[in-house]
Amino acid sequence: MKRKVSLITISALVLALVVSGCAQDANPADELKAKDNVIAALEEEKQALEDKISELEGKITELEEAKTAPDLQNSMISTALEVVHLLNDKDMIGISAYVHPTKGVRFSPYGNVDVSSDQVFTAEQFEGLMTDAQVYTWGSYDGSGEPINMNFADYFKEFVYDEDYENPHMIGNNVVIGHGNSLINIDSAYPDGVFAEFHFTGFDPQYEGIDWSSLRLVFEEQDGTWYLVGVIHDQWTI
């Protein structure tokens, strides 16, 4: 903005000098025409310079965003690795430090996230979940449609850390790897989120990969910090 003001000021000074010089002319009509031509030329030059400044400012912004995006993405993966390590250790107190301060963490047993009924827990609740005897309804079993009624410790064993996700076959950086027949709606369920997927391609060769398993950890950035907002387990579904 300062550069634009300077250009306008310079243009005004040049115009003043030209007008002053033209004042020596005897013919008023020629003098007026000369002034108009000078003003038009200066306006075109000023606009061209302003356009160039806007173009350069845009390029600077693009370069800054290009530099920041990979740094943020890398820090998200680093945070995801820390969280999956804590999950492996069942360190709920440690995980609570990563829980989103206002949104908490939603748990989904399959790739299709139900934002209206999936269980959500705050950071304060996390610390006592492993010893919480309360039975929650976590959704419905694929195939049978029967409700998944479990306390947190049992749900954790079957629908969170059912495999050694700290040592997966593959890690997806905001990319879905495992696909079954259910609709994966992670983008619409978490429009402001990014995720890491810890994926096993399969375990028994006779099943040709349909026994794959994934754990997706969804994060949202707030004030430069990545917070956990979603824990999505996924597997082949009917």
Contact by Cβ (8 Å): 126, 95 = yes
- Tell me the mean pLDDT per 10 residues along the chain, length 238: 47 49 60 79 80 74 55 84 98 97 98 97 96 97 95 98 98 94 94 98 95 98 96 94
227 shares a domain with 123? yes
Total domains, the chain: 2
83 shares its domain with 120: yes
Same domain for 157 and 53, yes or no, is no
CB proximity list for 133: less than 8 A, separation 6 or greater: 151
Provide the residue type at 184 as one letter.
Answer: I
For 213, the domain range is: 69-235
Do both 98 and 173 map to the same domain? yes
Residues 33 and 145 in one domain: no
Tell me how far apart the alpha carbons of residues 76 and 71 are, in angstroms, rounded to a whole number.
9
Q: In this structure, are 76 and 157 located in the same domain?
A: yes
Q: Are 87 and 28 within one domain?
A: no
User: Does 85 share its domain with 140?
Assistant: yes
From 67, 89, 111, give the residue that closes a domain. 67
Tokens 């173009």 -> residue: 55
- Are residue 100 and residue 31 in the same domain, yes or no? no
Residues 115 and 189: their CA atoms lie apart, in Å, by 7
pLDDT at 48 (0 to 100) = 79
Where does a domain end: 30, 45, 67?
67
Task: Tell me, yes or no, whether 101 and 39 share the same domain.
Answer: no
Burial category of 96 from C-beta neighbours within 10 Å (exposed 0-12, middle 13-18, buried 19 and up): buried
**Shared-domain flag, residues 48 and 141:** no
Distance, in Å, from the CA atom of 49 to the CA atom of 153, rounded to the nearest integer, reads 65
| Domain harbouring 205, CATH code | 3.10.450
Domain-ending residue, one of 40, 67, 94: 67
What is the pLDDT at residue 15?
A: 46
Torsions phi, psi of 82, nearest 5?
-65, -45
Output the pLDDT for position 77. Answer: 96
Residues 106 and 181 in one domain: yes
Least Cα distance to 80 among 171, 170, 156, 153 occurs for 171
Torsion, Cα of 98, 101, 107, 113 (10° steps): -120
pTM for the model: 0.71
